[in-house]
Amino acid sequence: MTISVAVSGASGYAGGEVLRLLAHHPDVAIGAITAHSNAGQRLGSLQPHLHSLADRVLVDTTAENLAGNDVVFLALPHGASAELAARLPERTLVIDAGADHRLESEAAWEKFYGSAHAGSWPYGLPELPGAREALRGARRVAVPGCYPTSAQLALVPGFAAGLLEPDDVVIVAASGTSGAGKAAKAHLLGSEVMGGMGPYGVGGGHRHTPEMEQGFGRAAGEPVRVSFTPTLAPMARGILTTATARVRPGVGAAALRAAWESAYAAEPFAHLLPEGQWPHTKQVLGSNHATLQLAFDEHAGRVIVVCAIDNLTKGTAGGAVQSMNIALGLRESAGLDLEGIAP
Amino acid sequence: MTISVAVSGASGYAGGEVLRLLAHHPDVAIGAITAHSNAGQRLGSLQPHLHSLADRVLVDTTAENLAGNDVVFLALPHGASAELAARLPERTLVIDAGADHRLESEAAWEKFYGSAHAGSWPYGLPELPGAREALRGARRVAVPGCYPTSAQLALVPGFAAGLLEPDDVVIVAASGTSGAGKAAKAHLLGSEVMGGMGPYGVGGGHRHTPEMEQGFGRAAGEPVRVSFTPTLAPMARGILTTATARVRPGVGAAALRAAWESAYAAEPFAHLLPEGQWPHTKQVLGSNHATLQLAFDEHAGRVIVVCAIDNLTKGTAGGAVQSMNIALGLRESAGLDLEGIAP
Amino acid sequence: MTISVAVSGASGYAGGEVLRLLAHHPDVAIGAITAHSNAGQRLGSLQPHLHSLADRVLVDTTAENLAGNDVVFLALPHGASAELAARLPERTLVIDAGADHRLESEAAWEKFYGSAHAGSWPYGLPELPGAREALRGARRVAVPGCYPTSAQLALVPGFAAGLLEPDDVVIVAASGTSGAGKAAKAHLLGSEVMGGMGPYGVGGGHRHTPEMEQGFGRAAGEPVRVSFTPTLAPMARGILTTATARVRPGVGAAALRAAWESAYAAEPFAHLLPEGQWPHTKQVLGSNHATLQLAFDEHAGRVIVVCAIDNLTKGTAGGAVQSMNIALGLRESAGLDLEGIAP
Amino acid sequence: MTISVAVSGASGYAGGEVLRLLAHHPDVAIGAITAHSNAGQRLGSLQPHLHSLADRVLVDTTAENLAGNDVVFLALPHGASAELAARLPERTLVIDAGADHRLESEAAWEKFYGSAHAGSWPYGLPELPGAREALRGARRVAVPGCYPTSAQLALVPGFAAGLLEPDDVVIVAASGTSGAGKAAKAHLLGSEVMGGMGPYGVGGGHRHTPEMEQGFGRAAGEPVRVSFTPTLAPMARGILTTATARVRPGVGAAALRAAWESAYAAEPFAHLLPEGQWPHTKQVLGSNHATLQLAFDEHAGRVIVVCAIDNLTKGTAGGAVQSMNIALGLRESAGLDLEGIAP
């Protein structure tokens, strides 16, 4: 059975990564490839690394061009996906890489995004408790933010097992620059980025914070408070997340490890590494895998969990394709049988 | 039909890249995975990016461990591959990533390698005139050096078409550090490499020079002299080769372009880019593709051809797998349906 | 008045950085330049960036070679500095870049370093309350660890002002590879480091933790507990420290900012940036400056302070030279009038 | 004697580098700091690495603001410097970092820049034969292009000594991204640059080619033809130039080395390294030094000369300050006593 898939935002990093994964997906035929301002251009001039799709011509991002496909991947500015999705046939599986449908709470959305809440769609992180079931047969998918993907993979097992205090989670993450997109902004110039590191969005206002608190809170069964600081690292891809939470009294290293082990033992894409081996983003570059490790800092009374992902793959397009596979009843790892690229 | 393949040097970069490509090759079952000093170790601790092979255990690199496989990939110190190959069953396809069997000339070998010439095996660069035919049904393959792969892809079409003067080829190439291997040497430390560039092996003594002259000379039908300077770039993977040769009198831009176009029009992995688009190693990272472009500098009377490859993929393991496919009569791109990874 | 200065460990990164700063220090004449295993070599072959010192010849690291200088910079293996210092003339100012004399607590030393405590020397971080005074006229200086330098710059003002809870400090730092030294280790190879990030020393055992707790505890007047996670970033130099501490009840953003402002208003090398401007290690590369910014995450009840330094300059050699200047009564910024190098 | 210096283009990379060097120049007081579109802004918000100048306020780039200074550094769009210089007092030393006054040939200017030739000013590369003399007492200086600086340092000694054939020079250079400036262009984004390399301006049309031919031709006493290919490397600063020229019959390695040795023996900023030691841009980062090495490839009949500089320092601002010192009769290395920054 061949699924026809349309991809919008094809000239950007997320759209390009979706196309890279779909190009050799055994069950997919790529349909319309669309972008706002590059209609009529050959994909090869915009995404020269996608050799097998070089001669495809981009069309405008319109409902007309996207309809007629079984699946539509959207990467649009805020507020646009709901409206476009509403104009597609009912049976179309719409997968939104944007933020519009990630948050369940209207209040949280309005506080952090300052616009009307578009509602929430099934959340594209299958490793979360209950998420895989919610994705089966779904016709709408909200792809998580990249930082929330790695943060939730890092800490949800502890919350789900009732081992962590909910009130004082501290997360610091380092991301490659592709997470900031392809727009030409001065602070993202190679000259500004190479050879150094700096933070941004510090202090509680980062839009990924409510998304993390949503996932942690759902798993914990109570509100969780997160302090999140992102930093920009001199690399193109990857997110290394260092997440810490206070451990409930009486919980020890063995119980902690057991919780993460059981959470991920059967997961195809989330791996708790053998003891003593620590994640590194080069382990997962270009792949849908996430690697994790934890340590119990007894002195500080905190568990420290480190998670490495590729922000464009597991953090965006890979998570999207994985969710698509589940929604359509395909093999979950179809098109995602990719090892990391190292060195 | 499933081919069983053994891979030696599995803890190094070349062996790791071969495993990465074979892990999802539709016709391959990976047999023995061997390494000199890591026998008994779990592959996951040495090559953590190879998730699907994490639990494979390495064995010693011996003829006994390698025999019993249809194909054996060798990555051994100089002088060892011929001897080991001789102890394998006749029907085994032996693919040597080392230099031992690349050169046809005994004199050239002895001059540049200072040891006894082991003879030459079919050369693993199918894009060369006659190479594909020589690989069909072969039971021995010499994988080219990474720099010679990109240099020959860059200039052979011009020599084959009789358009270039043979006596004054100048090539400058920039390579990522993985080409230097995994041995811990001070000059390869991240602190020594990041943020800068420097040359090495300058002045005619580089071992890849005779290999380039061999390929150019075969295509030209006369000896070709090359000045080759490699430089080390602050990146893990990739080779950008800038190759120039003087153009024969009366040859113009159109004839030059036509020669490269026809040389590569039907090639699955070598691509002359549309006019105006230039190669970049990020177009081919992690893939077996090579991108090329040429310009006729009329003022200087030289054609300048730039070729981008991934030194570990098309430059080593990808070229090896491609050659294996041809030798065994498989689809040439089996296991190599990989786009580049960008950004 | 010209001070004669001897520098040991001259072939390493720390020694090289000390020499770079001393080469144009207006009050210094560089005396003996020593190294363990490079005696007799020309400095230019080991530290080719030190052009004005290229023809200096290294001698053995012995008390004889070091004596006869007013100041001796030591960079030796653990346990060696006390013994060597004891064999130098009483009046010699000995500045130890190693860890031996950083910790006041014998118990802490033995726990983290597993050897006999050598005692503590005046601590080379003048920005700490009381530190400058302790350095004046000193004849022994312990140069802080690089991570503790940035961590203490980040949080001590808050502890000194009584604004922070002492029991749950969480610090995540990203460092360039030069902090790991020049020894050729596989995990520090450019191929292993470039393009990715990973943590190390996770979980409370890092030797810099007691040093941070020492500084915080002194400022707070009570024990402080720290969870510290270092990560390795794909850059040669720089440390970006993200430090968070819970804020005492009733403390608001204005009080927080005022504490850091007054702590650093008169400091030549520690700068609280204007509101809205955040630190970046490229602001301080190659210079003795540290840049800082803070934000009060009211939602999380934590202050987040980010500090950027160059691990080799303010984090090691610059801090050492700054302390030397104070000890000898020279202008504190002598030899340290260096802007950052950007881009 | 204090020289007052005004710097335009203060928000860009070249202007920032000039300011960095002048900030601690013993004979300089920085006067007006100007920029087109940032008038009124605090320098600290635009160039946060220039700590000692953080509170300086930028003014508009006008003749009025620049006049009243002994020296004016210009970094303006093409065609603007001559006109602005004409409106400054006669005695003002005007140093133009732009291209307008680099070429002596009107025909070459019009061919490569497509506008009216503004004439030529004394050329700011003192190491060239006769250049230092021409700079003494000058009131106009044309700062060379960065690539031509390294190319001429690389080959002029050989041409001046009559050892090289003039007709077939081949140069390939790799540059850090800062050479392309601070304008936000997509191809210069960190995501596009990090982890790879690519060429640009291939084929003879690069504007630096006539500048190289001018310097080579002057030294040779006859026209020299150059094929020049620039490539963009994943680093912020640095140029590594690999330049080759055919060696005249009868010329051997000893004569070649002697020519470069004598050319640079007394030069403060150009260094022919000891035999066997090769240049690396990390040897000269942030400094006005250039390191060189040559090898005679007898097989190819070419000398290969490699030169490493920092494109912003020796390639732009450092060369400018060095020329200023000569023009004003100051110590030539005033303000330029800087070692390279390594690692």
Q: Which two tokens stand for residue A18?
A: 């979706």
A191, A195, A197 ranked by CB distance to C240: nearest: A197
* Chain D residues near residue B242 by CB distance under 8 angstroms: 172, 199, 229, 231
| Neighbors of chain B with 3 or more C-beta pairs under 8 Å | A, C, D
Spans of chain B, pLDDT less than 50:
none
* Chain A residues near residue C281 by CB distance under 8 angstroms: 195-198
| pLDDT average, residue stretch A54-72 | 96
Asked whether residue A275 carries a pLDDT value surpassing 90, the answer given is yes
Same fold, C3-142+314-328 and C147-311: no
- Rg of chain D over all Cα atoms, to the nearest angstrom: 19
- Chain C residue closest in CA terms to D292: C48
Domain ranges (residues) in chain A: 3-142+314-328, 147-311
CB contact (8 A) between residue B194 and residue C236: yes
B168, B197, B280 ranked by CB distance to D196: nearest: B280
Structure confidence at residue A36 as a pLDDT band (50, 70, 90)? confident
pLDDT recorded at residue D203:
85
The burial class, CB within 10 Å (0-12 / 13-18 / 19+), for C316 is buried
ipTM of the complex: 0.96
- Chain D residue closest in CA terms to C337: D24
Tell me if D6 sits within 8 A of D69, measured CB to CB: yes
Q: Alpha-carbon dihedral of residues D54, D57, D62, D68, nearest 10 degrees?
A: -80
- Chain A residue closest in CA terms to C297: A203
| Residue A79 falls in which region: left (phi positive, over 0), alpha (psi -120 to 50) or beta | left
pLDDT recorded at residue D77:
79
Contacts of D339 (CB under 8 A, 6+ apart): C20, C23, C24, C49, C50, C51, C52, C53, D287, D289
Which segments within D298-339 are labelled E, that is strand?
302-309
Mind telling me the catalytic residues of D?
146
Percent of chain D exceeding pLDDT 90 equals 93
pLDDT recorded at residue D1:
77
CB contact (8 A) between residue C235 and residue A298: no
DSSP β-ladder status, B71-74 and B3-7:
parallel
Percent of chain A exceeding pLDDT 90 equals 93
A244, A282, A343 ranked by CB distance to C227: nearest: A244
pTM over 0.90: yes
> CA B132 to CA B125: how far, in whole Å?
8
CB contact (8 A) between residue C242 and residue A199: yes
CB contact (8 A) between residue B47 and residue A342: yes
Q: Which two tokens stand for residue C110?
A: 């033995």
pLDDT digits (tens, 9 = 90+) for D44-98: 999 999 999 999 999 999 999 999 999 999 988 778 888 899 999 989 999 999 9
Q: Which two tokens stand for residue C167?
A: 């029991």
How far B307 CA sits from the closest chain A CA (Å)? 14
> CA B83 to CA C231: how far, in whole Å?
45
DSSP β-ladder status, C290-297 and C302-309:
antiparallel
Query: Kind and range of the H or E element at C256?
Result: helix C253-264
CA A163: distance to chain centroid?
A: 25
> CA A204 to CA C295: how far, in whole Å?
9
Give alpha helix (H) positions in chain D.
Answer: 13-22, 43-46, 63-66, 81-86, 106-113, 131-135, 146-160, 190-193, 208-220, 253-264, 318-328
C177, C277, C342 ranked by CB distance to D49: nearest: C342
pLDDT recorded at residue A79:
80
Asked whether residue A145 carries a pLDDT value surpassing 90, the answer given is yes
* Chain C residues near residue B189 by CB distance under 8 angstroms: 177, 182, 184, 188-190
* Chain A residues near residue D13 by CB distance under 8 angstroms: 191
* Chain D residues near residue B234 by CB distance under 8 angstroms: 233-235
pLDDT digits (tens, 9 = 90+) for C17-66: 999 999 999 999 999 999 988 999 999 999 999 999 999 999 999 999 99
Residue D276: Cβ within 10 Å count: 7
Distances (CA, A) of A260 to A155, A222, D177: 9, 20, 43
* Chain D residues near residue A282 by CB distance under 8 angstroms: none
Mind telling me the catalytic residues of A?
146
* Chain D residues near residue A197 by CB distance under 8 angstroms: none
Tell me if A101 sits within 8 A of A81, measured CB to CB: yes
Q: Of B58, B59, B146, B235, which residue is the catalytic one?
A: B146
| Contact residues, chain A to chain B, C-beta under 8 Å | 13, 16, 20, 23-24, 42, 44-45, 47-53, 177-178, 194-195, 236-237, 271, 273-274, 277, 280, 282-287, 289, 291, 312, 337-343
Using the 8-state DSSP alphabet, how is residue B143 labeled? P
> CA D106 to CA D116: how far, in whole Å?
8
D203, D231, D242 ranked by CB distance to B240: nearest: D231
Structure confidence at residue D36 as a pLDDT band (50, 70, 90)? confident
Tell me if A3 sits within 8 A of A28, measured CB to CB: yes
Using the 8-state DSSP alphabet, how is residue C42 labeled? B
Q: Which two tokens stand for residue C17?
A: 């950085």
- By C-alpha distance, which of A31, A12, A3, A51 is closest to A334? A3
pLDDT recorded at residue C215:
98
* Chain B residues near residue C188 by CB distance under 8 angstroms: 184, 189-191
CB contact (8 A) between residue A170 and residue C299: no
Tell me if C195 sits within 8 A of D194, measured CB to CB: yes
Q: Of C7, C74, C128, C146, which residue is the catalytic one?
A: C146
Asked whether residue A1 carries a pLDDT value surpassing 80, the answer given is no
Using the 8-state DSSP alphabet, how is residue A316 labeled? I
* Chain C residues near residue D280 by CB distance under 8 angstroms: 48
* Chain C residues near residue B194 by CB distance under 8 angstroms: 176-177, 190, 193-194, 234-236
How far C236 CA sits from the closest chain B CA (Å)? 5
Asked whether residue D141 carries a pLDDT value surpassing 80, the answer given is yes
- By C-alpha distance, which of D108, D89, D216, D110 is closest to D163? D216
Asked whether residue C227 carries a pLDDT value surpassing 80, the answer given is yes
A233, A298, A299 ranked by CB distance to C233: nearest: A233
- By C-alpha distance, which of C292, C341, C343, C284 is closest to C315? C284
D227, D242, D299 ranked by CB distance to B300: nearest: D227
- DSSP-based three-state secondary structure for C232: strand
pLDDT recorded at residue A279:
98
How far B24 CA sits from the closest chain D CA (Å)? 25
- Chain C residue closest in CA terms to A307: C198
CB contact (8 A) between residue C48 and residue D20: no
pLDDT recorded at residue C289:
98
> CA C251 to CA C256: how far, in whole Å?
7
- Chain D residue closest in CA terms to A196: D236
pLDDT digits (tens, 9 = 90+) for D120-140: 999 999 999 999 999 999 999
C245 beta partners? C303
Question: Is C307 labeled as catalytic in the residue annotation?
Answer: no
CB contact (8 A) between residue C225 and residue A299: yes
Q: What value does the mean pLDDT of chain D take? A: 96
> CA A333 to CA A231: how far, in whole Å?
31
| Neighbors of chain A with 3 or more C-beta pairs under 8 Å | B, C, D
Asked whether residue C78 carries a pLDDT value surpassing 90, the answer given is no
pLDDT recorded at residue A82:
86
CATH code of A147-311, in short, is 3.30.360.10
How far C279 CA sits from the closest chain D CA (Å)? 9
Single-letter code of the amino acid located at D73:
F
pLDDT recorded at residue B220:
98
CATH code of D3-142+314-328, in short, is 3.40.50.720
| pLDDT average, residue stretch C238-260 | 98
The values of phi and psi at residue C38, to 5°, are -120, 15
- For helices D106-113 and D208-220, angle between their N-to-C axes, nearest 10 degrees: 160
pLDDT digits (tens, 9 = 90+) for D75-85: 887 788 888 99
- Greatest extent of chain C over all pairs of C-alpha atoms, in Å: 63
Cis geometry, peptide bond prior to residue C148 (ω within 30 degrees of 0): no
CB contact (8 A) between residue A186 and residue D182: yes
CB contact (8 A) between residue D190 and residue A190: yes
pLDDT recorded at residue A131:
98
- DSSP-based three-state secondary structure for D223: coil
Mutation test of the interface with chain B: which of C187, C188, C191, choosing the one with the most B Cβ atoms within 10 A?
C191
Structure confidence at residue A207 as a pLDDT band (50, 70, 90)? very high
A185, A189, A194 ranked by CB distance to D234: nearest: A194
CB contact (8 A) between residue A185 and residue D182: no
